[in-house]
Amino acid sequence: MRAWEQNIRTVVPYVPGEQPQNADIIKLNTNENPYPPAPGVSRALETLDPDLLRRYPDPAAADLTAAIAGYYGMKTGQVFAGVGSDDVLAMAFLTCFCSTEPILFPDITYSFYDVWAELFRIPYEKQPLDEEFRIRTKDYAKKNGGIIFPNPNAPTGIYKPLSEVEEIVSMHPDVIVIVDEAYIDFGGVSARKLLDKYDNLLIAQTFSKSRSMAGMRIGFLLGNETLIGYINDCKYSFNSYTMSQAAIAAGVESIKDQAYFSRCVQNIIDVREWSKIRFMDLGFECTDSMANFLFVTHKEYPAEQLFEMLKKAGIYVRHFQQPARIRNYLRITIGTKEEMEALFACLEQYVKS
């Protein structure tokens, strides 16, 4: 060990889903959208004024926050934009979770919540999902320093009805409740309408899934203007310029093309519902996912074995070693119909042979 290594933070790094370089791979492992972004997005990059690039971007990314606000019929001051939902969620943790009481989130959920809590020294307490992988509302009734959960939850895809979300938000006017709606556009009802009623609600969304822009890194928060103001102050205090001119311009164009967006999302929903039936026909159990992925298990074939078999066949899906309860499940992103047909052909041959 070198002398300076005693002063270094050492962590167990997150292992992201594999990004194979081979274009022939069918990639159903990172919940990317199978369709390209709206045509206007590429046009925005093509026509970006080079003189803009030499200048610092608008730290408020006001063009983009105004476009998002306009789309949802909200005020620009109710939107905070950042470098993907990881960035905006980390900023929300930092700003909103400053109580000495523990924050609450599900035990099986997005894997970065406990990482951010530890990074910012926020006490936390995980709440176990029920036997059907559902978030139990009553677990969130206890005293806490804040709450966060995804809706639909990941990696289960299970959606919590808005009335239950409202129950949690309304129980705790003294803390911020963050609803992480990364997958909400695939059929769930956003908690957006609750913002008029509850000023302790914060919603996170992303351009990475439903808007096919994972490569551009855009996420955003929706909340009341006071709360968004606090988050902006916090962000400005230590990193003023996060969103590039390119991301701002591209994001605005995506928002403008409502028709393209609706069409892509509907395609994915249609393929998902068809895929659920196909999985069940092959003897899989499958949660009623409302996201752009399915969460499946098979009584006879261990998930790890299926994962390896598919990988050899050039089809990448996601398998988690942790937590133990989901070790026998696969998370499979909804691709195009053709990609899913290739997947089912492969599975069919395997489970019937």
Residue 59 or 70: which CB sits closer to a copy of itself?
A: 59
Q: Helix, strand or coil for residue 295?
A: strand
Residue with tokens 């928002």: 255
How far apart CA 56 and CA 207 sit, in angstroms, is 22
Work out whether 78 is an interface residue with a copy of itself (CB under 8 A): no
Q: At what angle do helices 337-352 and 303-312 cross, to 10 degrees?
A: 120
Least distance from C-beta 252 to a copy of itself, angstroms? Answer: 14
Binding part of the chain for a copy of itself, among 57-65, 154-162, 268-276, 291-299 by CB under 8 A, reads 57-65
3-state secondary structure 94-111: HHHCCCCCCEEEECCCCC
- Residues 190 to 249 in contact with a copy of itself, rule: CB under 8 A: 199-200, 208, 212-217, 226-227, 230, 232-234, 236-247
Lookup: tokens for 323: 């937590």
The three-state secondary structure class of 18 is: coil
Residue 109 Cβ vs a copy of itself, minimum distance, rounded to whole Å: 15
Count residues binding a copy of itself (CB under 8 A).
Answer: 91
Shortest distance, position 215 Cβ to a copy of itself, whole Å? 4
Of 242 and 297, CB closest to a copy of itself: 242
**DSSP secondary structure letters along 226-255:** HHHHHHHHHHHHH-S--S-HHHHHHHHHHH
What are the CA-CA distances from residue 217 to residues 61, 235, 272, 305 (Å)?
13, 17, 25, 33
Q: Residues 137-176 vs a copy of itself: string with x where CB under 8 A?
A: --------xx--------------------------xxxx
Q: Looking at beta carbons only, is 32 or 306 nearer to a copy of itself?
A: 32
Binding residues among 247-286 for a copy of itself as defined by CB under 8 A: 247, 250
Q: What minimum distance in Å lies between the beta carbon of 189 and a copy of itself? A: 24
Contact 146, 114 (CB under 8 A): no
- Which region among 4-12, 161-169, 311-319, 336-344 touches a copy of itself (by CB under 8 A)? 4-12
Q: How far is the CB of 241 from a copy of itself (least distance, A)?
A: 6
Using CB under 8 A as the binding rule, whether residue 11 contacts a copy of itself is answered as yes
Question: How many angstroms separate the CA atoms of 321 and 318, rounded?
Answer: 10
In the bound state with a copy of itself, the residue whose beta carbon lies nearer, of 21 and 163, is 21
CB 217 within 8 A of CB 33: no
Q: Which is nearer to a copy of itself, 94 or 342 (CB)?
A: 94
- Quick one: which segment of 5-13, 69-77, 278-286, 299-307 binds a copy of itself (CB under 8 A)? 5-13
Rounded (10°) CA dihedral 24, 28, 32, 33:
80
What whole-number distance in Å separates Cα of residue 296 and Cα of residue 288?
10
Instruction: For a copy of itself, give the closer residue by CB, 226 or 349.
Output: 226
Chain centroid, CA 30 distance in Å: 11
Place of tokens 């060990």: 1
> Residue 203 in 3-state DSSP?
strand
Which parts of 88-117 interact with a copy of itself (CB under 8 A)?
90, 94-99, 112, 115-116
User: What gap in Å lies between CA 81 and CA 12, rounded to an integer?
Assistant: 29
CB of 93 to a copy of itself, least distance (A): 10
- Going by C-alpha positions, the residue among 39, 76, 83 that lies closest to residue 261 is 39
Site for a copy of itself in 25-54 (CB under 8 A): 27, 30, 32-37, 39, 41-42, 45-46, 48, 50-54
| Torsion-angle region of 157 (φ positive above 0: left; ψ -120 to 50: alpha; else: beta) | left
Supply the minimum distance, in Å, between the C-beta of residue 226 and a copy of itself: 7
| Nearer residue to a copy of itself within complex by CB, 15 or 324 | 15
Which range binds a copy of itself by CB under 8 A, 81-89, 286-294, 306-314, 329-337?
81-89
Closest CB 161 distance from a copy of itself, rounded Å: 24
